[in-house]
Structure 1
Amino acid sequence: MSMNRRKALQATGGLGVLGMFVAAGVLTPEEARAQQAEWNKAAFETKDVNSTAKALGGDAPTASDKITVTGPDIAENGAVVPVGATSTLPNVQMIALLVEKNPNALAAAFKLTPECEPFVTTRVKMGQSSDVYALVKSDGKFYVAKKEIKVTLGGCGG
């Protein structure tokens, strides 16, 4: 570990990624602590879309054709499956990505400001073929769309 990195980690109190944002001047230490405190553990322990929406403070989501879930039709490596979501709904406040057959459905949740374009992408781990859901909070209501992604072993296309 270089001395610059060591000093940055010490200066930020070991906050990990948030600490790097503090070191870069993107966040103040108070904002980083607030971000850490906002982590919703209960939402990341849910097993399905409805319970995730409830844990995130909403009611059962409504299906919407204004949400697009992106990802491969067939993923050859379930350890790193690229998935994403975009929406044309107005005033998107959050986009969450869920993998139905994972032990914990919620894979990622992104809070968006009004200045953000409602588009997110990440990589998730999928143990088996499953539906991937995008749960979008727009104007205080939850909406959902899904895409089936098949996971193969060794890329055999099964």
Structure 2
Amino acid sequence: MNPNRRDAIKTTGAFATLISLGVITQSQAQAAVDNAAFQAKNLDDALKALGGTPATNDQVTIVSPDIAENGAVVPVGAVSNLPKTTDIYFVVEKNPSPLSCAFEIPEGSVADVQTRLKMGQSTNVYAIVKADGKLYSAVKETKVTLGGCGG
């Protein structure tokens, strides 16, 4: 048996037991499992934790400035026109922890989110969308001139 699969089965069983005993809620268990993606230290590991390499799709749009004057507060947004969009993630390629945030999109909602990210340096920003169980993405390069994660 694959060691990663074994770990996943153990973790899932432990969380299921804690939920059934009322020790933690389902939301708390989900947050703990999703935390693994936030612990990734490079782009490939972050994508792997989210479910693999996403396909580019013109139905996913990312809004990020060409030049961010302050890397500590970079406004970004994403829109998905794909049906059955359930999640939107922002990944900043050269950040120490690339996965910056995750949004869960309730069924029947418009998949349009905005936030502010901290960026340590000029890099690509990815909007990764999970729709109908598959991953799709859009990417935009943003140049940082001041501040951010690294300074």
TM-score category (smaller protein): 0.7 to 0.9
Q: Is the 8 A contact 1:59 1:141 kept in 2?
A: no
2:97 corresponding residue in structure 1: 104
Show structure 1 runs of 4+ deviating over 3 A: none
1:54 maps to amino acid: K
1:53 maps to amino acid: L
Q: Per the alignment, do residues 53 and 153 of structure 1 end up closer, same or farther by CA in structure 2, a change over 3 Å counting?
A: closer
Higher Rg of the two aligned structures: 1
TM-score between both structures, scaled by the size of structure 2: 0.75
2:28 corresponding residue in structure 1: 36
Cα offset for 1:71? Answer: 1.6
Question: Is 1:88 equivalent to 2:89 in the alignment?
Answer: no
Cα distance in 1 for partners of 2:47, 2:142 equals 22
Q: Is the 8 A contact 1:44 1:105 kept in 2?
A: yes
Cα offset for 1:59? Answer: 3.0
1:42 match: secondary structure: helix
1:35 maps to amino acid: S
2:39 corresponding residue in structure 1: 45
Cα offset for 1:37? Answer: 2.1
| Match 1:54 to one of 48, 66, 71 | 48
Cα distance in 1 for partners of 2:81, 2:45 equals 24
1:102 maps to amino acid: N
Cα offset for 1:65? Answer: 1.2
Q: Is the 8 A contact 1:79 1:125 kept in 2?
A: yes
TM-score between both structures, scaled by the size of structure 1: 0.71
Cα distance in 1 for partners of 2:45, 2:56 equals 15
The unaligned stretches of length 5 or more in structure 2 are 1-21
Cα distance in 2 for partners of 1:90, 1:147 equals 23
Cα offset for 1:66? Answer: 1.1
Cα offset for 1:111? Answer: 1.0
**Aligned length, in residue pairs:** 122
User: How much identity, in percent, do the aligned residues show?
Assistant: 52
Cα offset for 1:34? Answer: 2.7
